[in-house]
Amino acid sequence: MNQLMGGVMAVLGIYRAFPLVHGSQGCANYVKNTLAKHFKEPVEIATTGFYEISAIYGASDIIESSIKNILENRDPDLIVTMTTGLSEIIGEDIQRELKRISENIHKDNNGTYLVGVSTLSYRGTHIDGYNNTLKEIIKTITEKNKEKNKKLEGNSLKSDKINIIPGFVNPGDVKEIKNILRKMNIGYRLLTDITTLDRPLRLPKERFPKCEATVRDIEESPNSKSTLSFGMEGIDGAKYLETLGVPSYNLKFPIGIENTNNFIKTLSNISGQEIPESLWEDRGYAIDAIVDGNDVLRNKRVAIFGDPDKVIGLTNFAFEMGMEVVAVLSNTETPHFISEIKKISMENNGKITIFEGGDLYQLHNYIKKRPVDIIIGDYRGRYIANEERIPLLRVGFPVVDRHGYHRKPMLGYNGALRIAEDIINLLIESSEDYEGLSIFKNYY
Amino acid sequence: MLYNTEENCNKNILVENRDTSKAREQHEIDTSSYCKYTQPGNSTERLCTFHGCRVVICNQIKNVIHLVHSPIGCAYYSWDYRSQSYGYGFTTDIQERDIIFDSEEKLYKAILKASEEFNPDAIFVYETCIPGLIGNDLQGITKKASEEIGIPVIYFDCAGFKGATQNEGHKIANRQLFKIIGSKKEEFHSTPYDVNVIGGFSSVKEAKIIEDMLSKIGIRVLCSFTDNATIDKIRVMDRAKINIVHCTKSSMYLAKMMYKEYGIPYIKGNFFGIENCSMTLRNIGKALNIDKDKVENFIIENLERIKEKLEFYRENLKGKRVFISHGAQRVLNYIDPLKNDLNMDIAGVATYFGNEKNYKEILKKIPKGTVVLDNPNSYELERAIVESDADVVISDNHIRYLVHKLGVPFVYGRGGKKSYVGFDGFINFADEVHGAINSKIWKLIN
């Protein structure tokens, strides 16, 4: 997916924030459509309505009228303008435009932050988009609040809270992270919280869906004790906060037992809180499920594809469960993907074929030659799964052809429990022989 | 922005969403005030020209490689936008270095590689915003590639920023596909009862139902353009006696071009709804000089079969208020069947792109005081649905979850798993509407 998708996910994860896509109507609507299908929730993404005339004469006027329109009709706390390939290629400087616009509409603007991000479509993927957008949001907001924050620093009013950047994940994952933090009794500031796209149906409809990440949280994020981020997703934001004096910890995604142990230990070290009994229980449940399914899981060949950092986590977890990972595919090129996978492979005496920045056609061709028992990835694996009659475990984003997958966690011990159970059941289903079960078999 | 308020409850108000105060004051309905361009900053349901060309028209053509000359996004989202896509999506994946150095060479290589690996009937190349802006010579490349690989390579100059809506893409697709019509030189056995059905873009299933229905009265469909089309079928479209235009908005151009070039007359046809369907069959019969009794018998036979069910739905749906949000043509097709065949009331209408003529026709069909929204943003749509007190909303999947969040039943207007065309199809549709309204869950929301 393109950078825009990641950018929009970052913006939608903040309460009362509004994404504005500076490009053709299709750019905004395609992203909106995919998000709506995955989350089964209404999504609003504004477009600047870029037509031929803007391509010729420049598009600064349509950004201005878009922002005015949004301020008038929606009155959000934050408007994030994201560019596309179309607006980038005509050479527009979004930061300069926004500076000019914010001076122009100074009077009408009731304290709404205007952020501009370059999310060009011809470089990077949704992971980079999330990373860049979140960094720009943090940078713009904290810069405006520099004075205020300095005063706080002077009064040594630094709070004990921890900034958490959950990454490009599902609402189920964010809930699981919150769950762990609450159980450990740690104060936190979520910098994005995509539970906005998993809301209960209660009338009347909310104007802005609720979540725990607010613009205020981002304003105050430099006062936190430290920042936690996972993999490449949001690392730039965490590094930026480091320049403001907030130490950052970059962990692997807490997928599987070991990685979650690590996450919880780090939390415990930073906050000085003990690991509570209830988390040990959760861990026990997950391990119990994996052990009980050991005869189904062991020696099964698995292919994994998706976002690089989640693939790293899932690969590690698959080995933990006794499975044999034979092929991994990352949709994004990152500096550490290949080395991390090789490291995991060495530790587990595995032999993994690695496709970096590749497509599913490569993976399909690989699977045709060397069959696997199960595929783990998003719903687009269904084309391979159907053709080769291999079960597919749907994880991550997007899963548009099933319901409720955005609520299923991948992170934490509960995520490990869910993934283990789902894999076990899929493997059992795929090996079941219903003909053999028929009691009438002999009579017909 | 409003409508349906007390002071103007006896007239239709066309809401033009860019100037909302005006609509309120208008004493006469101004159908020319439809909004051509989307107001900047709106969350619109409109899509781009590329979508109109690639997804709406071309995607259904089988055994063809749909190669999108774009950065990854355009290809990724459009590939299975509609669920009937099959196989792989193809893109040239334009990167920054390609823009600076050479994206034409990359496209050329991609065409050759795709043709070598998949052996398709033809390759369609779609231009998107970026090649459109940097000025790639698609015509030259496709011509060169076509000579090299010996199959048609057709380009569509459908950069997303061209035109105000996806409608522009329909025109481009029609224009380019028209070029391969009539290119079959071999002997072809044609009959006096050959027709084309133009402008069905929903699903193969729907096309097959229409083809089947027509074959019962002795008509052969050469090509259902494009829901059941292949390159071979499109090539022989010029041998038809008449064209039946299903969706006039998106394929009138093709029908007109074919009339001009090959002298094939066209009639408008609409297979949705009992009355519409009977009327269309009669018109086709007349145009092809088919025995009148044969057509009438077929219609009566079908009406007899569904009579009982239809009566049940007519009784149960009487007076229920329905809100329709679709493209202008589909709205027009749906108003009469809902009103006349199912006895329902129209609570409101919203379209993403209509022109003056469409709105005039719509206003004629709906009762006074009904709201008509032109290219609404999601907030306006939300208010319109709530304030029109609709019992059910019929629309595209775009707004399904918005409608659900308002606690209003929703029916997907294109059918999806079930098809809605033909006599039995309409019963499917009535069943869906009835089922949606009567699900108990809506009562439990509050």
pLDDT, tens only, B246-302: 877 778 889 999 999 999 999 988 899 999 999 999 999 999 999 999 999 999 999
The string of pLDDT tens digits covering residues A116-140 is 999 988 888 899 999 999 999 999 9
What is the C-alpha to C-alpha distance for residues A239 and A96, in angstroms, rounded to an integer?
24
The closest of A377, A339, A337, A336 to A360, measured between CA atoms, is A377
> Within this chain, do residues B254 and B288 fall inside the same structural domain, yes or no?
yes
With respect to residue B419, please indicate whether it lies within any of the assigned structural domains: yes
Closest chain A residue to B51, measured at CA: A26
Question: At residue A360, does pLDDT exceed 50?
Answer: yes
Residue with the larger pLDDT of the pair A427 and A52: A427
Residue B85: predicted pLDDT: 61
> What's the pLDDT band for A153 if we cut at 50, 70, 90?
low
> Within this chain, do residues B310 and B289 fall inside the same structural domain, yes or no?
no
Question: Where would I find the beta strands (DSSP E) of B288-438?
Answer: 321-326, 345-351, 371-374, 392-395, 410-412
With respect to residue B311, please indicate whether it lies within any of the assigned structural domains: yes
Q: Where are the alpha helices (DSSP H) in A277-350?
A: 277-292, 294-297, 308-320, 337-347
Contacts of B337 (CB under 8 A, 6+ apart): B272, B273, B274, B275, B276, B426
Beta bridge partners of B221: B195
Residue B60: predicted pLDDT: 85
379-438 in chain B: CB under 8 A from chain A: 379, 382, 397-402, 404-407
- Mapped onto helix, strand or coil, the DSSP state of residue A87 is helix
With respect to residue B375, please indicate whether it lies within any of the assigned structural domains: yes
Q: Report the 10 Å Cβ neighbour count for B188.
A: 12
Q: For residue B68, what are its two tokens? A: 């999108």
Q: Where are the alpha helices (DSSP H) in A17-145?
A: 25-39, 52-57, 60-73, 85-89, 94-104, 126-144
**pTM tops 0.90:** yes
> Within this chain, do residues B174 and B67 fall inside the same structural domain, yes or no?
yes
Q: For residue A400, what are its two tokens? A: 């548009």
Question: At B239, which CATH number?
Answer: 3.40.50.1980
What is the C-alpha to C-alpha distance for residues B48 and A124, in angstroms, rounded to an integer?
23
For A233, phi then psi, to 5°, come to: -85, 100
Would the CB atoms of A70 and B404 count as touching at under 8 Å?
no
Residue A434: predicted pLDDT: 65
Q: Report the 10 Å Cβ neighbour count for B154.
A: 20
Long-range contacts of A397-402 (CB under 8 A, 24+ apart): A397/A38, A397/A168, A397/A169, A397/A170, A398/A34, A398/A35, A398/A37, A398/A38, A399/A38, A400/A34, A400/A37, A400/A38, A401/B83
Chain A touched by B442 (CB under 8 Å): no
Peptide bond into A42 cis (omega under 30): no
Residue A155: predicted pLDDT: 54
With respect to residue B63, please indicate whether it lies within any of the assigned structural domains: yes
> Within this chain, do residues B228 and B339 fall inside the same structural domain, yes or no?
no
> Within this chain, do residues B70 and B133 fall inside the same structural domain, yes or no?
yes
What is the C-alpha to C-alpha distance for residues B345 and B359, in angstroms, rounded to an integer?
18
B446 contacts in chain A (CB < 8 Å): 202-203
With respect to residue B388, please indicate whether it lies within any of the assigned structural domains: yes
Residue B29: predicted pLDDT: 56
Mutate one of B55, B72, B81, B126 to test the A interface: name it (highest A CB count within 10 A): B72
Chain B touched by A303 (CB under 8 Å): no
With respect to residue B17, please indicate whether it lies within any of the assigned structural domains: no
The CA-to-CA distance between both ends of chain B, in Å, stands at: 28
Contact between B323 and B332 (Cβ < 8 Å): no
Say which DSSP state A424 is in. H
Amino acid identity at B26:
Q
* Last residue in a domain, options B262, B296, B330: B296
> What's the pLDDT band for A10 if we cut at 50, 70, 90?
very high
Say which DSSP state B343 is in. -
Average pLDDT value for chain A: 90
How many folded domains does chain B comprise? 3
Domain that holds residue B310: 306-444
> Within this chain, do residues B320 and B439 fall inside the same structural domain, yes or no?
yes
Beta bridge partners of B14: B372
A86 contacts in chain B (CB < 8 Å): 129-130, 133, 160-161
What is the C-alpha to C-alpha distance for residues A308 and B314, in angstroms, rounded to an integer?
55
Contacts of B384 (CB under 8 A, 6+ apart): B3, B323, B348, B350, B371, B373, B376
Amino acid identity at B440:
K
Closest chain A residue to B444, measured at CA: A202
Residue A156: predicted pLDDT: 54
Would the CB atoms of B96 and A122 count as touching at under 8 Å?
yes
With respect to residue B156, please indicate whether it lies within any of the assigned structural domains: yes
Chain B touched by A57 (CB under 8 Å): no
What is the C-alpha to C-alpha distance for residues B205 and B410, in angstroms, rounded to an integer?
22
The closest of B153, B72, B139, B70 to B111, measured between CA atoms, is B153
User: Residue ranges of chain B with pLDDT lower than 50?
Assistant: 1-12, 16-28
> Within this chain, do residues B319 and B392 fall inside the same structural domain, yes or no?
yes
> Within this chain, do residues B435 and B316 fall inside the same structural domain, yes or no?
yes
> Within this chain, do residues B310 and B433 fall inside the same structural domain, yes or no?
yes
> Within this chain, do residues B407 and B321 fall inside the same structural domain, yes or no?
yes
Residue with the larger pLDDT of the pair B432 and A92: B432
> What's the pLDDT band for A150 if we cut at 50, 70, 90?
low
* Last residue in a domain, options B237, B271, B296: B296
The string of pLDDT tens digits covering residues B372-409 is 888 888 888 888 898 888 999 999 888 899 999 999 99
DSSP code per residue over A192-229: --GGGGS----SSPPSS---S--HHHHHHGGGSSEEEE
* Last residue in a domain, options B266, B296, B326: B296
> Within this chain, do residues B292 and B311 fall inside the same structural domain, yes or no?
no
Residue the block writes with tokens 């009691």? A439
Closest chain B residue to A41, measured at CA: B401
- Mapped onto helix, strand or coil, the DSSP state of residue B306 is helix
Beta bridge partners of A164: A190, A228
Residue A437: predicted pLDDT: 60
With respect to residue B105, please indicate whether it lies within any of the assigned structural domains: yes
From residue A77, how far is each of A70, A80, A113, A168, B196 by CA, in Å? 11, 10, 6, 22, 54
> Within this chain, do residues B133 and B215 fall inside the same structural domain, yes or no?
no
